Every structure is written in structure tokens, then in C-alpha cells.
Amino acid sequence: MVFDKNILPLILFQYLPETTIFTALSMLLAGYKIRLKQVVIIGIIGALFAAVVKSQQPMPIVSTLCIAFFLIILFVIFYKLDVISASIATFLGVVVVGFVEAANYFFVTAATGITIQQAFEDLTLRLLFPLPEYIFLTVVILVCHKYNFSLINLRELKELSRKDHER
């Protein structure tokens, strides 16, 4: 395993914010409350795992799947979710973050003329390129949290299921 000399800035300023934002967004979209301690722990562990996976330079979809499976495990451990709920939360996060990331690439490239390839070749550009995405997703997290918005409220579905079984 060969680590790039730029691995520490990537962990601190790309993988850590990305994983932390992903974790918070996934939990909210699945109807769970954000617990800051768990989100930060998952963010740190996930960022370190992402650094290891991405240092192997697999195809982007392979690295995304590896990281997603690892995050499912972390959701089960730290949020005490069952595997199905953790998988649904992760899937929701992957879909929403994927759409936002694609839009970010399109708009940043259109506005600046900087391509993704150019951004990956320069550390400063690589760290700045996803900044609009992180800001937008943080605003989405704050709005979802304030208005208790979720795409699928797994917590309520479980409570309804329990009540149905009690009858």
C-alpha cells in the first residue's frame, strides 16, 4: 500500500468532511436523529478507511461500494441499527450525495473551466473543488434537521411495525 505525500491534507480536508457530512445526511434522510459523537467517530474512522481504499486506486464505483459497505458496518456498530436500516440509510446517502456531487462537478467546471482531471492533479484544486458541494450539503443537513425532514422515516416505520405485531 503506497500512500501519497498529500494523504494528510486529503484525510483532513476531503475524506473527513465528506464522510462526516455523508453520515449526518444518511441518518437524517432515514429518519434518525444526528448524534454528534457517533457522527464524528464514524467520520474519522470512515475517512481513514477511505484513505486506505483510495490509495489502492480502484475504479471509482469499486471504492464507493467498499466505503459504503464499511459505513453500513459502522452504522450498525455506532448507531445500533439493524443491517437493513443501515443499508437503506447508506443507500439514501449515496444517491443524494451522488446527485449533488455530479451537479457540483458540472457547475464548478462550467463556472471555472477547471476539469475534474485538472482538479485531481493539483492538491489545492482537489481540496477546493468539492467545497460548494460540502456547503450545499451542510445547508441541506441543517434544513432537514430543523424541519425534521426525512425521505424514509425508518424509525417510525419500525414503531408502526411493532404496534401491528402487538395487535
**113: region left, alpha or beta (phi > 0 left; psi from -120 to 50 alpha):** left
As a whole number of angstroms, the distance between CA 51 and CA 47 comes to 6
Q: Given this model, what pLDDT does residue 165 score?
A: 65
5-14, 95-104, 155-164: the lowest-pLDDT one: 155-164
pLDDT over 70, % of the chain: 95
User: End-to-end CA distance of the chain, in Å?
Assistant: 56
What is the radius of gyration, based on Cα positions, of the chain? 17
Q: Is the pLDDT of residue 134 over 90?
A: yes
Q: Is the pLDDT of residue 86 over 60?
A: yes
Q: Is the pLDDT of residue 58 over 90?
A: no
Domain boundaries, the chain: 7-166
pTM of the model: 0.92
As a whole number of angstroms, the distance between CA 108 and CA 136 comes to 13
Q: Is the pLDDT of residue 2 over 70?
A: no
Q: Is 158 helix (H, G, I), strand (E, B) or coil?
A: helix
Q: Is the pLDDT of residue 4 over 80?
A: no
As a whole number of angstroms, the distance between CA 3 and CA 161 comes to 47
> Which amino acid is located at 121 in the chain?
E
Residue 166 banded pLDDT, cuts 50, 70, 90: low
As a whole number of angstroms, the distance between CA 32 and CA 153 comes to 7
Residue 155 banded pLDDT, cuts 50, 70, 90: confident
Secondary structure (DSSP) of 13-79:
IIIHHHHHHHHHHHHHHTTPPP-HHHHHHHHHHHHHHHHHHHHT---HHHHHHHHHHHHHHHHHHHS
As a whole number of angstroms, the distance between CA 79 and CA 60 comes to 27
